[in-house]
Amino acid sequence: MTQAIEHLNPETLNAFIDDELPTSEQEGVQQHLAGCHQCTLRVLSATQLKAATARAGHRFAPPADALARLTAQLRREPQKTARIYSIRPIAWTALAAALVLAISLIGWRQVHQSNTLSAELLDQHLATLSSAATPQVISTDRHTVKPWFQGRLPFSFNLPDSGALPPDATLKGADLAYLSGQPAALLLFTIHKHQVSVFVIQRTGISDNPAFSRMANNRAGFSIHYAATRDLRFIAVSDVNPADLDLLVSAVVKAQSPG
């Protein structure tokens, strides 16, 4: 049965209740509604659903402690920025004294920072060893693993061809990781059945943390090897013998400058 009146289609009805229709179309809809009982009921029902969704959607309030922390974050960050610009001349004397102290502290802090970093790396490597941990990409094909990172990392890198890997080294998969708050590609290899985690991070601007280059070479029986290109840093963690680990790191580094 055909109807004499053309009813409002769902898109128009939605746009009408969301106040998204241009004035000219709005008038047309209102004219239609004046003569169509069915569509008027649909508009009413849709408006009620919209109002109910709005109530139901406002559901998750931050717990008091989270609210306090987030508010404090907003208030603290401005002060931090403002402080940079509010140095008065009288502060220069204090600044000079602070510099002397800072320089002596830097040495201690660098050691401390790199210790924290190597602990973080080792933790992440140990997490990959757990049988319950499956990487987000499971593939031995570099043409599957590399594209997976597109849109997930703010940088790109190359993976060595399986022929360019050291003997008995295999790519197993990859995961997204964070090192010191920076996004990193975590490449998972095996060498003679030993698991190897290779972290790839960007080294640009302030995000290049010099502590990465000062890390201990081993920790808790695991070797930590470090390499860098102009744009990237590579950190490999494994309990395989250090010479094999070096070969793998070199292969990964070499892949960054093909030809």
Question: Quick one: which of 136, 162, 217, 241 contacts another protein (CB under 8 A)?
Answer: 136
Give the range of 1-9, 212-220, 229-237, 244-252 binding another protein by CB under 8 A.
1-9
Give the range of 11-19, 115-123, 163-171, 230-238 binding another protein by CB under 8 A.
11-19
> Which is closer to another protein, CB of 52 or CB of 216?
52
- From start to end of the chain, where are the E strands? 137-138, 169-179, 182-191, 194-202, 218-219, 222-228, 232-238
Give the range of 10-18, 23-31, 138-146, 216-224 binding another protein by CB under 8 A.
10-18
Give the span between the Cα atoms of 229 and 160, in whole angstroms.
15
Give the span between the Cα atoms of 52 and 226, in whole angstroms.
56
For residue 54 the two structure tokens come to 């709005």
Residue matched to tokens 């593939």:
139
Q: What is the DSSP string of 120-182?
A: HHHHHHHHHHSTT---SEE-S-HHHHHHHTTTTSSS------GGGSPTTEEEEEEEEEEETTE
Residues belonging to the chain: 259
Smallest distance from another protein to CB 205, Å: 4
Q: Is 59 in the site for another protein (CB under 8 A)?
A: yes
**Could you tell me how many residues of this chain bind another protein (CB under 8 A)?**
56
Question: Quick one: which of 48, 140, 162, 170 contacts another protein (CB under 8 A)?
Answer: 48
Question: Quick one: which of 206, 243, 258, 259 contacts another protein (CB under 8 A)?
Answer: 206
Burial grade of 190 (CB within 10 A; 0-12, 13-18, 19 or more): middle
Give the range of 25-33, 35-43, 103-111, 251-259 binding another protein by CB under 8 A.
35-43
User: How many other CB atoms are there within 10 angstroms of residue 63's CB atom?
Assistant: 9
**For residues 123 and 115, is the Cβ–Cβ distance under 8 A?**
no
Footprint (CB under 8 A) of another protein, residues 174-193: 176, 183
Give the range of 52-60, 110-118, 121-129, 234-242 binding another protein by CB under 8 A.
52-60
Question: Quick one: which of 109, 112, 152, 192 contacts another protein (CB under 8 A)?
Answer: 152
Residue 227's nearest CA partner among 241, 244, 248, 207 is 248
Q: Is 42 in the site for another protein (CB under 8 A)?
A: yes
Q: Is 56 in the site for another protein (CB under 8 A)?
A: yes
Residues whose CB is less than 8 angstroms from the CB of residue 165 and which lie 6 or more positions away in sequence, other chains included: 171, 189, 248, 251
Site for another protein, rule CB under 8 A:
3, 7-11, 14-15, 18, 20, 38-39, 41-42, 44-46, 48-50, 52-63, 66-67, 69-71, 73-75, 77-78, 81-82, 84, 136, 151-152, 154-155, 176, 183, 204-207
